[in-house]
Structure 1
Amino acid sequence: MSAEATRDNWSETWVGFAEGVDRYFSKEETPPDYTNESYVKVQLKQTWEERGGIQTDVRVKAKFDLPNTQRKMKVFFSSDEESENSLEERVRSNSTGERFSRKESVSGLEITPDSEWHKWKRSARIGVKLRAPLVGFGRYRLRRSFDNWGEWTPEFLQEIWYFSDRGWGESSEFELSRPLGERSSLRYWTVLEFEDQYDYFENVHVFSLAQGLSDRSGVEYRGGLVFSNEFQAQLTAYFTGVSYTYKLYEEWVFVTASPEVFFPKIDGWNAEASFTIKLDVYFSH
């Protein structure tokens, strides 16, 4: 059996399973325009560091799309819980998380009202982190897009969460983006995050320019600043990098090459260079 046939078979199995779960929970007939966007993504990542270190990471991310349950309550499952990583790790292309050993899958129920509250979209999650022993968590999120900014598209996200093994925390995000012609776009993204167990704020600012080179490839140039008030409000690191992405096959196999230079204050602002290769394989309709 060819690789493409194997991929199609796995995709049909996963999406078919999600559709069955959707019908079970919703107890509704499938509408004519029904589409299910469930997928599984397998990611292989290898990073070579200037000082000789090599990091290997394998991640599996799964999404259940249950559109028939949206009016009531949405069941969710994610095998890649990003909130476990530090803010610095989440914005850098070379960060690895050893996902298999950390077992960060989460599942539970999500409530998303159809109506908006003063132009704010709301959602609340209650669930468990699938590890031994089980860890309960709750998360409340507010999101709003703003109009009348011309070509700029701003969006604000406020999130408050609680994990029984970590306590509570909050994250405030603001993103501003605009197109630059047909193939390019400019983006600014900032996050202010607080976690009670550490009792200090972290803040990042990321600037990026994305450019499509062809129908199969694109490049992103980015730079970022990392701040913390652990001891006093100060710049703790800055970084710059480039990511080149190429579509190897149709819409399901992508490879990305990312050189990056990181300058941490703790090491006297000395440059730490790295090079990361990432392979993403998608299984979906």
Structure 2
Amino acid sequence: MHPDSATAASTDEAETIEAVDTTRRGVRRFAVWLGEEVNDWFGDKPFSEGGKVSHGRLSVRLRWQEDGGTDTNIRFRARFDLPNLRDKAYVFFGKENEDELTANQPESFTREQLLTESNRRDQTGFFGLGVKLRDYVDFRVGVRGGLKPYTQARYRRHWMLSARNRAEFGETLFWRSSDGFGSTTWLELEHAYTPSLSFKWQNAATITRETNDFAWSSSVGMFKTYGDNKLLSLEALVNGETGSRDDVREYGARLKWTQPVYRDWLLADLILGHFWPRGKEDPEREPNWAASAGLVMHF
């Protein structure tokens, strides 16, 4: 390579890294400013005395589906531990899919991870207050787009069944203004063959006024970790709704690769999936390929 070309490439890389660092600093400054403002609502203790922004995440995703074109999606969320609410409550805000937010759908079964078309009208901003009742129980009250209220009572625990076997269970009881009460239950079982290779079985079921009985999803797969927080997974998927015309709605397979692209807070992932629709409710659906690429920034 010509020396001038090498110098230009190095300069472009440095400018890209600086732009990424600047973006993250800007997002974090905004989050800290918001935390300071909200903290002042509840008392006189300044945010600098123990205030913290945690679980901050900004993601951008491009999705492609066979015969369905492409679409993009932006999601973000953050949690604030506020000095004036220390040991009492926390504040959270962000932008997510409205139904998945209020039902507390597990990440593995969100529309984004299942490569399902996501309508921007389904995305909603949200803001709320959470109270931690015990280490594994919390209660949330929030509002989403259009000042529509919702509440959640959330339970989550995990157990080490043995040196290589782990179980995790979660239950969310929720109420939302659109359709009243509902619940989401999920269970994950994991067996570690080696420190870097494991088998997971994940399940989730959601009951609302709109479901006949409950909408459910399940996956089984292998997860392989590599150095530097790289992860490769291959899963078989199935979902459906009991009590409907089609107890099983769709089978699928999902291959996913995740790795850091800058330090440990900027991650990239690539998901490739193939899906086989079943049943009579939508007979025109055909087997199809889908893929997505995403960037996730933690702040």
Fold similarity call, TM over 0.5: yes
Change (3 A) 1:98 1:156: same
For the Cα contact (< 8 Å) 2:98–2:122, is it kept in 1? no
Q: Secondary structure at the match of 1:13?
A: helix
1:39 deviates by 2.4
Match of 2:79 in 1: 64
5+ unaligned residues in a row in structure 2: which ranges?
Answer: 1-14
Quick check: 1:146 aligned with 2:159? yes
For the Cα contact (< 8 Å) 2:77–2:92, is it kept in 1? no
Provide the rounded CA distance (Å) in 2 between the counterparts of 1:26 and 1:187. 45
Match of 1:250 in 2: 263
Deviates more, 1:215-224 or 1:225-234: 225-234
Larger RCO (CA under 8 A, 6+ residues apart)? 1
1:96 deviates by 4.0
Deviates more, 1:102-111 or 1:162-171: 102-111
Quick check: 1:191 aligned with 2:204? yes
Quick check: 1:43 aligned with 2:55? no
Provide the rounded CA distance (Å) in 1 between the counterparts of 2:51 and 2:192. 32
Q: Secondary structure at the match of 1:234?
A: coil
Provide the rounded CA distance (Å) in 1 between the counterparts of 2:89 and 2:110. 32
For the Cα contact (< 8 Å) 2:168–2:188, is it kept in 1? yes
- The TM-score, its normalising length taken from structure 2, stands at 0.78
For the Cα contact (< 8 Å) 1:107–1:130, is it kept in 2? no
Quick check: 1:20 aligned with 2:36? yes
**Residue deviations 1:183-223 (CA, integer Å, cap 9, x gap):** 22321111121111333311211112221233263211111
Provide the rounded CA distance (Å) in 2 between the counterparts of 1:98 and 1:269. 18
Quick check: 1:241 aligned with 2:249? no
1:70 deviates by 4.6
1:18 deviates by 4.6
Q: 1:275 aligns with which of 284, 287, 291?
A: 291
Match of 1:177 in 2: 190
**Residue deviations 1:22-73 (CA, integer Å, cap 9, x gap):** 65336446798775325240312221x233x213122131203215335222
Quick check: 1:166 aligned with 2:187? no
1:123 deviates by 1.4
- The TM-score, its normalising length taken from structure 1, stands at 0.81
Q: Secondary structure at the match of 2:29?
A: helix
For the Cα contact (< 8 Å) 1:18–1:66, is it kept in 2? no
Return the letter of the residue paired with 1:138: T
Identity %: 14
1:179 deviates by 2.9
1:89 deviates by 4.8
RMSD: 3.0
Q: Secondary structure at the match of 1:9?
A: helix
